[in-house]
Structure 1
Amino acid sequence: MRKARGILLPLCLLLAVLTAGCGRSSGNADGIKTVHIYQFKVEISEALQSLKTKFEQEHPQIRLEIQSVGGGSDYGASLRAKFSSGDEPDIFTIGGNNERDMWLEYLEDLSGETWAKDVKPLAAEQMTVDGKLYGMPMNLEGYGFIYNKDLFAQAGITEKPLTLTALREAAEKLKAAGITPFANGYQEWFVLGNHNVNVPFAQQPDPVAFIAGLTDGSRTFAGDPIFSKWIDLLDLTVEYGNSNPLSTDYNTQVTMLASGEAAMIQQGNWTQGQIDGIDPDLNLGILPMPIDDTAEDNDKLYVGVPSNWVVNKFSPVKEEAKIFLDWLVTSEAGKNYITKEFQFIPALDSIKGTEKDLGSLGAEVLAYTDKDQALTWNWSRLPNGMPQELSSSIQGYLGGKLSKESMLEEFQINWDNLSVQ
C-alpha cells in the first residue's frame, strides 16, 4: 500500500482476495474499464452527462463516472478528502501554479499526448514544470471592463478608451448623458483580490520575478510605480461608479449592466450567459483596464485558465483516462461539446470557436489572445490566503479606513506573514 503526501491510505480489508483493491473497482469481469472523473464546474455537469453517452457509444469498453462538486461547496477540501480516504479519482481538475505544485506527485506527465503541441503557450505555462506538461487546460477566460456599446454611442463616445485619460473622458460623457459609468461589485472578495489587483501584478515587466522579489524582500508594494498607477484606476471607477460599491454583490453588478443601468462592469466572458438571460440583444464588448496614458501597453485583456484536467498517475486506468481526454479535444464530437455545449473559449489552437458559439465576449477574449494581446492571471502564484487579504485591505481603503500608503503597507505585512507559513 503506497503512502500519499505523508498520509497512509486506508488498508484493504480483504487482502486475501486475489482481485481485491482499495476503494472502488476500476474494471468489470467483462473487460469494461471505468474512469472516475471529479470536477468542479457544476455549470457543465448536465452537458458532461450527455458527452459521457456519446463517448461511451464510441468506446464501448470504457465507462465514465462523473462527479461534479462546486457552487457553494468547497471543491478543494472535498478533493483532498477523497484522496485521504483512498477513493482517488482517475481524472480530476485543479488550478495552476500553487495547486499544481501541491498535487504534483500525483500528476501524470501529459507532454507526449498528441494534443499537447496544440495548447496555447499562455494556457500551458501554469501547468508546466521543467518542460513537462502536467495538465490539459479546460478553457480560457478573460476579463476587463465589459461595456455596452450602444450606451457609449448614446453618450457620443466613438473610440475605445485605451488610456486612463480617455477612460476618464468617456466616464464624464456617460455621466453627462445621465448614465452611470461603472457598476462596481466590490463586496465580492474575488472581484478585488483576484481580478482587480491582478492588474498591477500582470503589468510588471516580469510578474514571476516581482512576486519572488516581494517574498525575498528585494521588492515592495510601497513605492512600486505600477501599483501607484493601479490605485489611480481604482479611484476612477469609484468616482464614476454606483453608490455603495462595497455592498454591491456580483449578481447586482451584472444585472445593472444587463438592464442598462450602468455602462461598464469589471468582469469577464463568464458573465455572458447571465447577461443573455436578462437581455440577449445587448451590444457588448470588453475594454482593457488602462493604468496610464500609454495606449499600446494598455490595449490588452487579462486571460488565464480557470482549471485544468489532470490524470492521476497512480490510477490503474490512466491509459483509458488519457484516451478520454484525447477524444475530448481531437474528435469532432468532443470539440463541439467544448465550444457549443460548454461555450468554452478553446485553450488549444486546434479547436476553433465562433462568436455564435462563444458569445461576443468570448470571441473578443479569444481575438485578444490570438493577437498576443493578453496579460497573465497571477493570483494562483500568491501565498495561500493572500487574495482574500488583499481584498480586505482594498475594501478598507475604499471605505476610508486606510490611506493609499497604509493600504500598501498592509499588503506588505500580510504578504510577509503568509509567505513564511
Structure 2
Amino acid sequence: MKEKICYLFFVSLLLSVLTSCGSSNAQTETENKETEQVVLTIRNPKVEIATQFEQMVQEYERQNPNVKIHVETVGGASDDFSDIIAQIAAGQGPDIFTNIGYDATKEWINYLEDLSSQPWVEKAYPDTLKPITVEDKVYGMPMDIEGFGIVYNRELFQKAGIQSIPRTYSELKVAAEKLKNIGVTPFANGYYEEWKLGYHLTSLAFAIQQDPIKFNHQLKKGKESFTTNVIAKDLLSFLDLTLQYGNQSATKTDYYTEVEMLANEEAAMILQGSWVQPLLDEEALDKSFGIFPVPLNDKANSKILTGVPNYWVVNKKASSIKKREAKKFLNWTVSSSEGQQFMTERFGFAPAFKHIKTNDIGPISKEVLNVYHTKETYNSNWFAYSSSAKREAGRTLKRYLNRELSKDETLRQLDEVLREDSKP
C-alpha cells in the first residue's frame, strides 16, 4: 500500500514539474516573440529629406534594438504606386507607405489598417483627418501641412526694386521684367516631372472656382468645360508667362535643377511648395526665401494652396507583429522629443498636430502654417480624380509647354482626361 502511495506521489510530482516546465517554456516563447527582431519596410515619398529620414530611422533603431527598418525613398518621376499593388496583394509590399486621401483612401481601403485608436488621432488638427477618414474610421496619419505657390528669393526682389510681392498677374509680369533688367532669370522652370503640372498646378484651376465641388461634378457630367472656363485659360496664360521669363528647355529641366538655380541665385522664382525648404537649407542656408500665391489674373484673389500632401498608412496585409511595430514607430515620430525635432528642425515640416512646437520649421513652412491657420488659403487637395488622371493631365500640360498642342486643344484634352476618369 505504501509503495502504491509513493508511486502515485512520484507521478503527481513529475506531472507538476513537467507542467511547470511547459508553462515556463510557453512564457519564454512568448517573451522571445516580443523581443525578436522585427524588420519593417517603409516607402518614403519625400526625396527632399531622404538623408534626414534615414537618420531619424537610425535613432529609432537605437532606441528600439529589436526593430530594423529598411527605407525605400521614391519621388518625382518615380513616385508611382502602381508597382506596389501586386506586391501588397502578394504579401510582399512595404509595411508603411503613403496615401493621398479622399478617393485614394477608398481605392486602397482593403490594404489600409484602421488607425482610429492610435494616440496621435486626437492631437491632429481635425480637418487634416477628413481626407483619410471613411465611415468614421481613420486610416492614415497626416505627414505634414504643405503649401504650393511661387517660392522666391527676397534679396533678389529687393535688388530689383520690387517693393511688395505680386498679387495680380500684371504685377507678376512687371516684377519679372524688373528681375530681367538686372540680369536675373525671373523663373527657373522645372517641368520635366509631370507631377507639378498634374497634381499641383491643375489643383489651382479647381480651387479658385467659385464653387469647386459643383464645378467638379459639372465638368464630369459634361455640363462644364475647360474650353469655356476663364480660370483654365488664365492657367495657360500663366504658364506662357513663366516660359517667356524663364530658362531654356523648361520641359527638360528637372526638379533638382530648378531648386539649384534658385539656390545659386541664377533665378529668382520657382513654381513649387514648402517641401523645398530642406533642399534650400542644404544649398543656400544664408539666403532668405519666401512663398506667395500664384496670381492667375488681375482680380487679386490669389491664395496659397495648402493641405496634407500624404498620409502615412500601415499595410493591412502585414503580420500582426509588423503592424504593431509599424504603429509604434509612427506614434514615436510625433510623440517623442526626438521625432518632433526631426519633423520640425530637420525636415522643415509644418506639423499637422496641435501639440508640436513650430519654432524651427523654416521661413517658408512658417508662412504656410500661418496662412493655414488664418484660413486664407485654397484647398490643395485635388480629391475628385484618380492618380492616373492627374498624371494624364500633367502630360497634357507638358505637351502644351512643348507647343505640341494649342490652347484650345489642351483644354479639350483636359476635358477628355477628366471625363474619362469619371466613367465606371
| Superposition TM-score tier, normalisation by shorter sequence | 0.7 to 0.9
% identity of equivalent residues:
38
* Counterpart position of 1:409: 412
Separation (CA, whole Å) in 2 of partners of 1:310 and 1:219: 35
- The range that moved more, 113-122 or 163-172, is 113-122
Could you tell me which of 182, 187, 208 is aligned with 1:177?
Answer: 182
Could you tell me which of 281, 288, 291 is aligned with 1:286?
Answer: 291
Separation (CA, whole Å) in 1 of partners of 2:174 and 2:35: 64
Q: Closer, same or farther in 2 for the Cα pair 1:64/1:305, shift >3 Å?
A: farther
Please say if 1:70 is aligned against 2:74: yes
SS at match of 2:114: coil
Separation (CA, whole Å) in 2 of partners of 1:94 and 1:359: 25
Residues 215 and 224, structure 2, Cα contact 8 Å, conserved in 1: yes
1:148 deviation in Å? 1.0
Instruction: Give the partner amino acid of 1:372.
Output: K
Q: Closer, same or farther in 2 for the Cα pair 1:35/1:381, shift >3 Å?
A: farther
Instruction: Give the partner amino acid of 1:257.
Output: L
* Counterpart position of 1:306: 309
1:146 deviation in Å? 0.8
Residues 207 and 378, structure 1, Cα contact 8 Å, conserved in 2: no
Q: Closer, same or farther in 2 for the Cα pair 1:73/1:398, shift >3 Å?
A: closer
Separation (CA, whole Å) in 1 of partners of 2:355 and 2:349: 14
Instruction: Give the partner amino acid of 1:253.
Output: E
Separation (CA, whole Å) in 2 of partners of 1:142 and 1:311: 25
Could you tell me which of 332, 337, 342 is aligned with 1:327?
Answer: 332
Residues 201 and 378, structure 1, Cα contact 8 Å, conserved in 2: no
Instruction: Give the partner amino acid of 2:162.
Output: I
* Equivalent residues in 2 for 1:369-408, closer than 5 Å: 369-379=372-382, 381-408=384-411
Cα RMSD between the aligned structures? 2.8
Q: Closer, same or farther in 2 for the Cα pair 1:333/1:48, shift >3 Å?
A: closer
Residues 183 and 262, structure 1, Cα contact 8 Å, conserved in 2: yes
Separation (CA, whole Å) in 2 of partners of 1:148 and 1:114: 40
Q: Which has the larger radius of gyration?
A: 2
Separation (CA, whole Å) in 2 of partners of 1:100 and 1:35: 26
- The range that moved more, 47-56 or 315-324, is 315-324
- The range that moved more, 255-264 or 120-129, is 120-129
Separation (CA, whole Å) in 2 of partners of 1:410 and 1:144: 25
- The range that moved more, 280-289 or 367-376, is 367-376
* Counterpart position of 1:15: none
Separation (CA, whole Å) in 1 of partners of 2:131 and 2:248: 38
Output the TM-score relative to the length of structure 1.
Answer: 0.82
1:30 deviation in Å? 4.9
Separation (CA, whole Å) in 1 of partners of 2:265 and 2:246: 14
Instruction: Give the partner amino acid of 1:52.
Output: Y
Instruction: State the Cα deviation string for residues 150-205 of structure 1 (Å, max 9, x = none).
Output: 11111111111112222122122222333221121223312222222221122123
- The range that moved more, 321-330 or 177-186, is 321-330
Residues 193 and 388, structure 1, Cα contact 8 Å, conserved in 2: yes
* Counterpart position of 1:205: 210
1:245 deviation in Å? 2.1
* Counterpart position of 1:341: 346
Instruction: Give the partner amino acid of 1:402.
Output: L
* Equivalent residues in 2 for 1:212-291, closer than 5 Å: 212-291=217-296
* Equivalent residues in 2 for 1:116-155, closer than 5 Å: 116-155=121-160
Instruction: Give the partner amino acid of 1:157.
Output: I
Separation (CA, whole Å) in 2 of partners of 1:406 and 1:73: 28
Residues 275 and 349, structure 2, Cα contact 8 Å, conserved in 1: no
Separation (CA, whole Å) in 1 of partners of 2:187 and 2:93: 45
* Equivalent residues in 2 for 1:49-60, closer than 5 Å: 49-56=57-64
Separation (CA, whole Å) in 2 of partners of 1:157 and 1:126: 39
Instruction: State the Cα deviation string for residues 27-85 of structure 1 (Å, max 9, x = none).
Output: 8735326373432246144223323235427xxxx635444242586662453233222
SS at match of 2:81: helix
Separation (CA, whole Å) in 1 of partners of 2:389 and 2:265: 34
SS at match of 2:128: helix
Separation (CA, whole Å) in 1 of partners of 2:339 and 2:224: 45
Please say if 1:368 is aligned against 2:371: yes
Separation (CA, whole Å) in 2 of partners of 1:51 and 1:381: 38
* Counterpart position of 1:21: none
Residues 208 and 378, structure 2, Cα contact 8 Å, conserved in 1: yes
Instruction: State the Cα deviation string for residues 106-155 of structure 1 (Å, max 9, x = none).
Output: 33333343322332245323212234321101222222111111111111
Question: Higher helix share goes to which structure?
Answer: 2
Could you tell me which of 7, 15, 31 is aligned with 2:34?
Answer: 31
Residues 188 and 249, structure 1, Cα contact 8 Å, conserved in 2: yes
Residues 40 and 68, structure 2, Cα contact 8 Å, conserved in 1: yes
Q: Closer, same or farther in 2 for the Cα pair 1:183/1:110, shift >3 Å?
A: same
* Counterpart position of 2:115: 110
Unpaired runs of 5+ in structure 1?
1-26
Could you tell me which of 344, 356, 361 is aligned with 1:358?
Answer: 361
1:409 deviation in Å? 0.8
Q: How many residues align?
A: 388
